[in-house]
Amino acid sequence: MIWVLSESERLSHRARKALTNPGTRRFVSVVSIWEILLKHQTGKLLANHDIDRVVDAIERQSSWTVLGMETQHLRTFSSMLRFDEHKDPFDRLLIAQGIHEGLDIVTADLQFAKYGVKVVW
């Protein structure tokens, strides 16, 4: 999400094309927002802007819908296979949401595809 907001060149051409397609429904998980805030608080994310402005920008994006965490997502999370090399709980929660909601996930992390969720990169 940070790459999207900052219009980073790190975002792949395919991902950028998918996200700018007028017919694409865009979701950002509350899990991603939470992770951004945690990384900022621990100094792992040095944002050029006040972090509250980043969160406000996400909320104001009319083309984006914030996807909350639901108990159904946690049930999917609980029933997912676990791959030892992929321990990041934030990623696994995003994957569970993607699986449950039938959403494609924009990510450069190739570990996501192991879970059967469609990755756009």
- The rounded distance, in Å, linking the Cα atoms of 4 and 117 is 20
> Domain holding 66: CATH number?
3.40.50.1010
Residue with tokens 């094309």: 17
pLDDT per position as a tens digit, 8-17: 899 999 999 9
Q: What mean pLDDT is predicted for residues 68-85?
A: 93
Range of the domain at 82: 2-120
Question: Each residue of 26-61: pLDDT tens digit?
Answer: 999 999 989 888 888 888 776 666 677 777 878 887
Task: Give this prediction's pTM.
Answer: 0.87
- Name the DSSP class of 66: E
On whether the CB atoms of residues 107 and 119 are closer than 8 A, the answer is yes
Question: Based on the structure, what is the number of domains in the chain?
Answer: 1
Residue 66: phi and psi, rounded to 5, are: -80, 125
Do residues 65 and 82 touch, judged by C-beta distance below 8 A? no
The structure tokens listed for 9 are 């060149």
| Three-class DSSP category at 24 | coil
Q: Cα-flanking dihedrals φ and ψ of residue 84, to 5°?
A: -55, -35
Q: How far apart (Å, rounded) are the C-alpha atoms in residues 84 and 33?
A: 25
